[in-house]
Chains A and B, each alone.
Chain A
Amino acid sequence: MKQTEFLNVVMPFKDKLYRMAKRLLVSREEAEDATQEILLKLWSKNESMGEYKNVEAFAMTMTKNFCLDRLKSKQAGNLKLVHSNYTDETVSLQKQLEAEDSIGWMERIMEELPEQQKMVLQLRDVEQYEFEEICDLLDMKPTAVRVALSRARKTVRDELTKKHSYGIG
């Protein structure tokens, strides 16, 4: 596989890998490093890449495993917590402030979730993967995925409801 070919294959989902890494590792630098590492690994395997039915799913699984290993390793002690790396130029300043506030909440709420729920929520609600794909990626049974997803969504809802009622009271 040539460089350009490789790039054509990888470009459409490299952001998804990065977002997944960031969801798990939280810090932007760590997520960037992880993504780079995954892309390098993929490139080093480019000879055999034709054999994989779904390169995106393969890369996603690699990212998941890499990040979980990273979290388990001692180096995880050096992870920096970085919030709100978002910039959205399209909305007005006041709206932006409000939005950033609620985005900050959401980020923190999602950080608190267990890793599996985090991943399921990320894959389904952010990346809109189908259930079967999530089952393959995370090596989980369909029922387990549904349970994890439902729990994650309810936890987020409950946390948001708490914040919401604080705002009123």
Chain B
Amino acid sequence: MELGNIEKILEKYFEATTTVAEEKKLREYFAQESVASHLEQYRPMFNYFSIAKEERYTKQVPLKPRVNYYKWLSVAAAVVLTFGIYFGKQYQERKEAEYAYQETKKAFELLAENFGRGTEKVAYLKEFQEAKEKIYNNN
């Protein structure tokens, strides 16, 4: 490939009017050991393009889609929520029952206290009875 031709292609190259085949010629020219000194500055450009094309994707092609954890997360959340509501309700019912028991107990205690007061008073009546019997017996 004579120099004049390369220069012409290079000019077209920067106007982006070259074909793929012409660009290949340029890359081939710049891949040579010796390049005309005034074109030396373009060498890294074309060499870089050739090298850049050598880069490979080395990782394995992943075909198993990753498991969608979010789907299972929502299932777990629903389960927890159901159990939470169920046991929470049970717990609340037990609390309510205990409260009612305490209240009833308090009411009974109040009642028992008042009854006690009643019997104290009635004890005097017994005193009266005894005195009455003493009188009757003496007669």
Q: A36-B59, A106-B45, A156-B45 are in contact. Are A126 and B53 (CB under 8 A)?
A: yes
Nearest chain A CB to B17 CB, angstrom units = 7
Binds B, one of A6-14, A47-55, A64-72, A73-81: A6-14
Task: Flag whether B36 is at the interface (Cβ < 8 A).
Answer: no
Nearest chain A CB to B39 CB, angstrom units = 11
For chain A, residues 107 to 162, give those with C-beta under 8 angstroms from any C-beta of chain B: 107, 124-128, 130, 145-147, 149-150, 153-154, 156-157, 160-161
Contact of A150 among B15, B20, B41 (CB under 8 A): B15
Contact of B20 among A130, A145, A160 (CB under 8 A): A130
Contact of B62 among A36, A107, A127, A153 (CB under 8 A): A36
Q: Which residues of A contact B66 (CB under 8 A)?
A: 40
For chain B, residues 51 to 97, give those with C-beta under 8 angstroms from any C-beta of chain A: 51-57, 59, 61-63, 65-66
Task: Flag whether B24 is at the interface (Cβ < 8 A).
Answer: yes
Task: Flag whether B13 is at the interface (Cβ < 8 A).
Answer: yes
Task: Flag whether A32 is at the interface (Cβ < 8 A).
Answer: yes
Do B61 and A125 touch across chains, with their CB atoms under 8 A apart? no
Interface residues of B, count at CB 8 A = 30
Task: Flag whether A58 is at the interface (Cβ < 8 A).
Answer: no
Q: Which residues of B contact A15 (CB under 8 A)?
A: 55-57
Do A88 and B51 touch across chains, with their CB atoms under 8 A apart? yes
Contact of B65 among A11, A40, A85 (CB under 8 A): A40
Task: Flag whether A17 is at the interface (Cβ < 8 A).
Answer: yes
Task: Flag whether B16 is at the interface (Cβ < 8 A).
Answer: yes
Q: A19-B53, A88-B51, A128-B24 are in contact. Are A150 and B14 (CB under 8 A)?
A: yes
For B99-127 the 0/1 string (1 means CB < 8 A from A) is 00000000000000000000000000000
Q: Which residues of A contact B (CB under 8 A)?
A: 3, 6-7, 10-11, 14-15, 17-19, 22, 32, 35-36, 39-40, 43-44, 85-86, 88, 99, 102-103, 105-107, 124-128, 130, 145-147, 149-150, 153-154, 156-157, 160-161, 164
Known: A44-B65, A88-B54, A105-B44. 6 other contacts (CB 8 A): A14-B57, A35-B57, A86-B51, A103-B47, A128-B24, A160-B41
